[in-house]
Structure 1
């Protein structure tokens, strides 16, 4: 009775992984190949918004200083290091703004990706995280994630 459930769950995980690899790699096969082979390579292409709000501009500076090392430039992710935050998984209806604050304060146990656990981040105030979150949300909106 549990065997069909396990098989269905395994198939869903495999399908989700395949979707991520192919949807985040871009349109040409060479990009997909590079993303898989090159450590630190961006995991998705990010369209930049035409203009950022003042809060998002401040958040970008904090993001670049603390988050980009793992989450990549413009939150595109880095192969083998950290997931893209410009991704449907992080849309507001699935990971609300409070999730970003909790992740910074407490760290995050790996659950959507195989990058390992995210440690708590030191030196960021709640205002810094609010700016970072605004920056990520504006990037998401520019990329059709609402």
Structure 2
């Protein structure tokens, strides 16, 4: 009943404006606290984020930095600024590894002058040091197979290793490169190149990466020792100018030899038949 008195009504009217004022203060305090929290979070991110980024992307080594300069000058137009590849020009190099770069660049297959069915071997544009620098740059970009250091051929004079390499070569390589290593034609204008000019590193890198139409012979397919035995066979047996059977007939393999034997044999038989008929 006292609230209906003029004094009680006046007191109630005086208290009403204080309620919105307290709510405004609480809201203002919330905004201030939120602003301070966001400022602190942003400052912490600014301080620590560069360090985290640096840990995720380590700087390139000196050799890779020199390789990057060569890449930007000679390879970027086909393989892209970050080696991600350019459609219609060149594939991505992320993950191909140093071995693929060493093979393609040391044999002069890269850089290519134009798109062809297959990149032919030609004089190398870069020397050995520059090739290793390019390979190191691609390796640090995305990893991949690498040619191991050291001797890549079974010990010289190890006849058993050479014999095992010959068996492995005939099973895995001769169907394309021929029994004599002279190479051969494939489909769609492609071919298996001759092995006469290949070095130990080129042979190992080719088996490890499978360039062009060649299959990949990883360490699960051919162990490192087996690869070295194949290299020993190619370098110490196939490249020697020895033809135990006499005339090598270009060393193209059994098809040429069989054709020559057939032709010579048929001619000999015809002359023998004519001679016998004339005598009779």
Q: Which gives a bigger RCO, structure 1 or 2 (Cα 8 Å, sep 6+)?
A: 1
TM-score normalised according to structure 1 size: 0.47
Structure index of larger Rg: 2
